[in-house]
Amino acid sequence: MPLLSLVIWLPILGGVAVLFLADRDRATVLKLSLSIALATFVLSLPLYFGFDTATHAMQLVERVPWIPAFGIDYHLGIDGISLPLILLTTFTTVLVILAGFEVIERRLAQYMAAFLILEGLMNGVFAALDAILFYVFWEAMLVPMFLIIGIWGGEQRVYATIKFFLYTFLGSVFMLVALLYLYYKGGSFSILAMHGLPLDLAAQKLIFIAFLLAFAVKVPMWPVHTWLPDAHVEAPTGGSVILAAIMLKMGGYGFLRFSLPIVPDGSQALDGLMIALSLIAIVYIGFVALVQEDMKKLIAYSSISHMGFVTLGFFVVFRLIGNGATAGSAAMGIEGGMVQMISHGFVSGALFLCVGVLYDRIHSRQIQDYGGVVNTMPVFAALMMVFCMANAGLPGTSGFVGEFLVILTSVKASFWFAVCAGTTLVLGAAYTLWMYKRVIFGEVANERVAKLQDLNRRELVILGSLAAAVLLFGVWPAPMLEVMHATVEHLVEHVSHSKVAMAVTGL
């Protein structure tokens, strides 16, 4: 059974079907969209259980010609890097659909359809092994997200969504030029073929920069992060969750799938820049998060800071390779970054959902409008505590594992990298827990807070399942690490061989 095609096309076609139901009653639309999302999630489970963790080769490969004139194939496959991200996508979409149930009043069918189509496209990004197929999914994804922020967003939604679109579009088109250039060098659009393509250093640096423009905007890295606070704040809750939990991960995924293996020497040559940008994101953006008054904005900045860990983990590897460390210890940096991506997917998604829960009741995101919520919503307060602790990187939550692995790797590279990165443990705890304290604890701030109702069953299911995931991977990250281990080892092995030498000798 073509499982990968199913997890891509079932939600897309299902989303189109939901669109045609627009005139029916709400209940039908809700039931249909939830069952499509659930069916996709169930279909994605066999990907995990049938996955062979011993090999780094692509699995479940599907390949049929798409545009034969230029050798473009419909080429899908997964390895240890893409599998966890696909599972994260299908899991998160179920929660997002569920979270939209009572909240969305206008154009419900279009809302649900947009998220389902988006899910299919995101799965396509992670599964595509042909560069053009990847690019088509990557760009097409902007269309539903543009509409989600623009139609269901807040006050400044138009500004935010156009900024989001243009920023991302700007980055991506240069990636397209790089991909076309690689096609002319190697004569193939297959990503795996590009991995083996010999290139000289000058070309590698330029290609690296073109990729960097695309992926740095998506991650987002300082200084091209400014679209994110706007988009996050203005997007509806579901949109923020998808943005934070999955779209940001595409930048990280892009580094691992394109930048590192295709231009290893370019990455090596510019690793100082990347490490510096990552550390600036971690420290500077951490301080910026500290002064935010708007909960969504605070979480948005915290996302940027946490994603800095991901890129730090990916690029500190080159310092280790340069120092002659073993492949195993270098791989730990990338694995740490990957774990951080997955964990951040759960944690930031959950925090945005928490803000959504409060916003649905009081219609404010300002911290000062809250206080003493624990008195009226004890269950909610307890769950939010878990997510805040995970965001601060408390041991026992998934947030700790990734940060720990990355810091451990950076110590080996340079003591000062580790010191800078380590400040996040202080800063992260400071901004997260301070927000938690101001919102949840203390006296009941006003009568609107006094009238709050605790979580209903639907919200409890959503937040409860996320809390379970956060704690599970916090105490037992092995299933995640196991899946990616072979792939990451192979990646490190691959990047430690210079392509310049190959280009010179003509091999």
Binding string to other proteins for residues 136 to 155, with x set by CB under 8 A, is what?
A: x--xx-xx--xx--xx----
Contact, 147 vs 187, CB < 8 A?
A: no
Contact, 212 vs 276, CB < 8 A?
A: no
Positive or negative, the CA dihedral 111, 113, 114, 120 is: positive
The total number of residues written for the chain in this structure: 507
Distance of CA 36 to the CA centre of its chain: 22
Token code pair at residue 42: 């169930």
C-beta closer to other proteins: residue 135 or 301: 135
Q: Is 66 in the site for other proteins (CB under 8 A)?
A: yes
How far apart CA 130 and CA 164 sit, in angstroms, is: 26
Contact, 421 vs 286, CB < 8 A?
A: no
C-beta closer to other proteins: residue 164 or 431: 164
Closest approach of Cβ 162 to other proteins, in Å?
A: 6
Closest approach of Cβ 323 to other proteins, in Å?
A: 36
C-beta closer to other proteins: residue 145 or 327: 145
Q: Is 17 in the site for other proteins (CB under 8 A)?
A: no
How far apart CA 9 and CA 402 sit, in angstroms, is: 32
- Work out which of 48, 51, 101, 169 binds other proteins, going by CB under 8 A: 169
Work out the number of other CB atoms within 10 angstroms of the CB of residue 131. 26
Q: Is 170 in the site for other proteins (CB under 8 A)?
A: yes
Question: Which helix (H) or strand (E) covers residue 245, if one does?
Answer: none
Binding string to other proteins for residues 19 to 58, with x set by CB under 8 A, is what?
A: ---x------------------------------------
C-beta closer to other proteins: residue 174 or 253: 174
Q: Is 224 in the site for other proteins (CB under 8 A)?
A: no
From the list 38-46, 130-138, 229-237, 238-246, the region that binds other proteins by CB under 8 A is 130-138
Q: Is 68 in the site for other proteins (CB under 8 A)?
A: yes
C-beta closer to other proteins: residue 38 or 162: 162
Q: Is 157 in the site for other proteins (CB under 8 A)?
A: yes
Token code pair at residue 57: 């080769």
C-beta closer to other proteins: residue 183 or 222: 183
- Work out which of 115, 135, 314, 370 binds other proteins, going by CB under 8 A: 135
Contacts of 426 (CB under 8 A, 6+ apart): none
Contacts of 414 (CB under 8 A, 6+ apart): 319
Q: Is 287 in the site for other proteins (CB under 8 A)?
A: no
Token code pair at residue 227: 């679209």
Instruction: Give backbone dihedrals phi and psi of 25, rounded to 5 degrees, phi first.
Output: -75, 160
Measured at the CA of 348, the angle between CA 423 and CA 312, to 5 degrees, comes to 40
- Work out which of 50, 70, 102, 478 binds other proteins, going by CB under 8 A: 70
Q: Is 180 in the site for other proteins (CB under 8 A)?
A: yes
Point out which residues bind other proteins (CB under 8 A). 22, 66-70, 132, 135-136, 139-140, 142-143, 146-147, 150-151, 157-158, 161-162, 165-166, 169-170, 173-174, 176-177, 180-181, 183-184
